[in-house]
Chain A
């Protein structure tokens, strides 16, 4: 009777109090995806509000500098609110409105998903509350104020490690507290079914556009897709349309923090084991007794001890590879892309850029890499300055 499985992963491991809510959500979602009017409304919003399709940019300077494969960047950073998170937030808030909900709640790590949800809620006239780890409200203070400007109430979460994992715990707790009028806008391809499917579907517009754009530009499919992975929504959005194209290599970049041989990392596939947490069976960073590990990354958006169940299944079958990228490599890539192409990437996306720098020189000049530039880096400027020992005031 278990639903929403990806191989052995996924499922619905949540308190009984929430079961009717996820069942209703699944029904409403399936109905909306068959409803031409809903799909047209979302498409129109993306065209007139998000700014879709986002550009596929040929990074000529980076390509020349690395001397290998041709590198394209999928510019999700140019979306309204500055990241791919708006694709899912607009879809889910519109869905919640159709379901008659009047209030949305969400977790956020870096604040990108919180800002996207607050934006969608403002646009559609919904009440909005965001849960964010206290440590993240400190390191992403600008995003907290953005959410408040948009009319959302931001709750700093002081339990546990005070990061994304704890924000998810607290949002789940709040949802059990008030489920009738409230929809939980989960921000990644994780959590109980149907969330991993819903978020993947709303994000899959990224890969669909890439296919069309690269065929137009190059007349062939790319050889490799690269994206950063925390929960994994921008990666799944890029990969999904290409899963059936076996010639296209799929690579997810995990946050290795200080390194996977230290205990300061968030590289779930590299260092985790199978567990059941936050509603899903998947890989988690944890100890032998199933206690979830306190993870670490310079990037608040990747600082999560789990990974979405469909990624776990893509890893199990060998369809996708997951590689660790350290803080140092990500910060170098952050500066590299800024100087080389005049594009400041989000520190999350810089993990994908870092792997692109490593792999491109080893590939042929006739080969093509598409890297998902999932967000813009304005929010990270102060933190990167601090990392380099420069104190600036936001």
Chain B
């Protein structure tokens, strides 16, 4: 069983996101094992990009902080190699197609696999374009995560049938960021996925409170939270490990009840 499927075999999975290198990679190396200890079942590591078009302002600013601190893909690979010595938590890279393509897709994915990355999420590479990376991901044993959105409708069956690892269900229209209400019919999205392929579904975009997480976890196998955590990193800077871990414990407990 892969680390990713194992993460979904122990009840509802909590999947936090942080931007690697925000505020610097030393903090990232402390954060990841501590987040795993606090209850994170899978951790998404964002590789910062200058122009993250699927992100709201919170993660845009985190990417800018990380880039200003001199974060690069090569430095992130080195950090992940060190992180892997401390924790076995499944790790997914979240980044845009350009940083992967320009680095050299095969070189990037090979390095990611060698430092212990389990999955790759690329929000600006839809189903129709996945051949750009999918054959390479298969070669190196990395799950290429598929996303579905409230507008996907009849596309869901085709996307799900070729999905691997888990399916990232985008809860709302728009970009990442905290929302008061999530109104999409997420239950229907998940049912369509499951009818096509028996894969875990994790819901992300807009989730920040334990109440939202608890409610949405009824419909899915995992909950993804990004902006709410990145806000804590912005607020506490180098001292963000403790507040982020406290938050993760609270969220994990809300979806475990």
Which chain A residues have a beta carbon within 8 Å of chain B's beta carbons?
1-3, 11-21, 159-160, 165-166, 169, 172-173, 176-180, 273-279, 281, 284, 286, 288-292
From B1-9, B48-56, B79-87, B192-200, the one touching the partner chain is B48-56
B217 is an interface residue with CB less than 8 A from chain A: no
Residue of A169, A173, A281 touching B174 (CB-CB under 8 A): A173
B99–A14 contact, CB under 8 A?
no
Q: Is the CB of A12 within 8 A of B101?
A: no
CB of B98 within 8 Å of the partner chain: yes
The docked-state distance in angstroms from the alpha carbon of A160 to that of B64 is 9
Assess whether B175 is in contact with A177, with CB atoms less than 8 Å apart. Answer: yes
Q: With a CB–CB cut-off of 8 A, which chain B residues contact A277?
A: 51, 98
Q: Mark B156-175, 1 if CB is under 8 A from A, else 0.
A: 00010000000000100111
A165 and B50 alpha carbons, distance in the complex (Å): 11
A-contacting 9-mer, from B10-18, B119-127, B233-241, B245-253: B119-127
Candidate in B50, B100, B127, B152 with the most chain A CB atoms within 10 angstroms: B50
> Once the chains bind, are B103 and A15 in contact (CB under 8 Å)?
no
CB proximity to A under 8 Å, residues B5-57: 49-51, 53-54, 56-57
**Contact A176:B54 (CB < 8 A) given known A14-B124, A19-B126, A290-B103:** yes
In the bound complex, CA of A18 to CA of B151 (Å): 8
Cβ 8 A contact of A179, one of B50, B56, B131, B173: B173
Which range holds the interface residue count of chain B? 35 or more
Of B56, B57, B98, B170, most buried by chain A (CB within 10 Å of CB) is B98
A14-B124, A273-B102 known, 19 other contacts, Cβ within 8 Å:
A12-B126, A15-B123, A16-B126, A16-B149, A16-B152, A16-B155, A17-B152, A160-B51, A179-B173, A277-B51, A284-B98, A288-B102, A289-B103, A290-B96, A290-B98, A290-B100, A290-B103, A291-B49, A292-B50
- Which chain B residues border A179 with CB–CB below 8 Å? 151, 173
A274 CB → nearest B CB, Å? 8
User: How many angstroms between the C-alpha atoms of A21 and B149 in the bound complex?
Assistant: 12
Question: Within 8 Å of chain A (Cβ to Cβ): is B73?
Answer: yes
- 7 A–B contact pairs at CB < 8 A? A1-B131, A18-B151, A19-B126, A20-B152, A178-B174, A290-B96, A290-B103
Residue from A176, A278, A289 within 8 A of B173 (CB atoms): A176
The answer to whether the Cβ of B224 comes within 8 Å of any Cβ in the partner chain is no
Complex: A275 Cα to B104 Cα, angstroms? 10
| A190 vs chain B, min Cβ distance (A) | 14
Whether A276 lies near B150 (C-beta < 8 A) is no
Are A276's CB and B173's CB within 8 A? no
Task: Determine the distance from Cα of A20 to Cα of B67 in the docked complex, in whole angstroms.
Answer: 33
Chain B hits for A12, CB < 8 A: 126, 128-129
Q: Is the CB of A291 within 8 A of B149?
A: no
Nearest 3 interchain pairs by C-beta: A290-B102, A177-B174, A17-B149
